[in-house]
Amino acid sequence: MEELHKPVLLSEVLAVLQPKSGESYLDLTAGYAGHASEILDVTRNYKDSVLVDRDINAVKYLQEKFKDEPLRITNSDFYSAVLQEIECGNAFDMILMDFGVSSPQLDRPERGFSFAKEGPLDMRMDPTQELSAEIVVNHWNEKHLVEILEQYGEEKPGFARLIARAIVHGRPWQSTKQLGEALGKYGRGGKTHPATRTFQAIRIAVNDELGEIERTLPLLPRLLKPGGRVAMITFHSLEDRLVKDYLKEVSGYGEESELTVLTKKPVVAEKSELFINPRARSAKLRAAVKL
């Protein structure tokens, strides 16, 4: 099948997870199987492995790709999937969580993730959920918009108020490109488009991305076998801070610790990868092993 998404930090993920023949694997953000394909090619253990994604489009792709394998594929957000696996008493040798937006989500205008192309104000990773970007930008009040711009877009309070006011006064917004072009007028001379952080903040709010990570991280040790490894890829400082702080806390009890950190510093992409996959430039990989 055609590769729809180029996985970031693939060789680095393989280096920290060290997959071996017969091992079980849980991919909580499987997407278009960029990492999963490589890992399962090594383990060949399909019956004890699980691929999860909240995007039905990705799930359909996975089902077709692995249609001849006894592999369980789940359409779910990763927090709900983790609760399900714990309830079933399952544990794995490897777990991967890649928190980034997939290339098909970004590249397909109809998904509404990018302001570079004309598309609906959507941004839902799960297309069936009710909350969308259209509801956020056309119906949330100015105070609420300021809050998400500060918290999720990491904008300074004054600029967050300026953008929130512009969004409220410019209603109704019809498309991603319309909103992006309007926010482009508030440029501050940097390399980053003025709408970038706003779109990030809206996307995080729509999908409850940080809340889901916060709820999931403490449960991961319960899904790992002794000696099991977990790897997590983040794409902005808010995600990375949650992962970093969690790993510091859970590994800080000496012999009583549940996990030992495998990456003293976050692993980032080599220049060779950045040349062929610019989207890897903000990716950071952290990993740990269960004692």
Does this model's pTM top 0.85?
yes
Burial of 3 (0-12, 13-18, 19+ CB in 10 A): exposed
* The pLDDT of residue 6: 84
* Percent residues over pLDDT 70 in the chain: 98
Indicate whether 24 pLDDT > 80: yes
User: How confident is the prediction for the chain on average, in pLDDT?
Assistant: 94
* Domain boundaries 10-104+212-290, corresponding CATH code: 3.40.50.150
2: pLDDT strictly greater than 60: no
| Identical topology for domains 10-104+212-290 and 108-209 | no
Question: So where are the chain's domains?
Answer: 10-104+212-290, 108-209
- Calculated CA dihedral for residues 247, 253, 258, 260, nearest 10 degrees: 60
Q: State both tokens at 247.
A: 């790993």
pLDDT exceeds cutoff 80 at 25: yes
Q: Domain 108-209's class?
A: mainly alpha
Looking at residue 106, what is its pLDDT? 81
